[in-house]
Amino acid sequence: MNEVERKKALTLIYRHTSRDYKGHLNGEKSILVLRTGGTTLVPLTALTDEEIARDLPHAQKCEEKRLAKKVSAKKRPDSEPHCSEELPPGWAICEARGDYD
């Protein structure tokens, strides 16, 4: 795995790791990893190739679902704001944003 692929893989793994199992350690993004002796907080840059290979398929699957959901939300016609002609000028914008009383 070259450096670019590794960086993308680490980004995906971090993105799709539950917030309960990730954080920052000395300013570096880190995740909890099961290693001999128990779980330990490991900086992403210190993950082994085996750990990346183990976690990457799940992260890729989650990323596919996230992107599919994002695309389907754009295609839904009901997601576009509608304006009512009965409302006074300016209210249509408020209705689209949902910030009127």
Task: Render 35-97 in DSSP notation, one character per residue.
Answer: ETTEEEEEEGGG--HHHHHHHHHHHHHHHHHHHHHHHHHHH-GGGS----TTSPTTHHHHHHH
Structure-token pair, residue 8? 């993308």
- pLDDT, tens digit, 9 for 90 and up, residues 28-45: 999 999 998 899 999 999
Residue type, 34: L
Looking at the whole model, is its pTM more than 0.85?
no
pLDDT in tens, 61-80: 999 999 998 888 777 655 45
Question: 3-15 vs 49-75: helix axis angle to the nearest 10?
Answer: 60
For 50-66, what is the mean pLDDT?
94
Q: What's the rounded Cα separation, in Å, for the pair 29 and 76?
A: 36
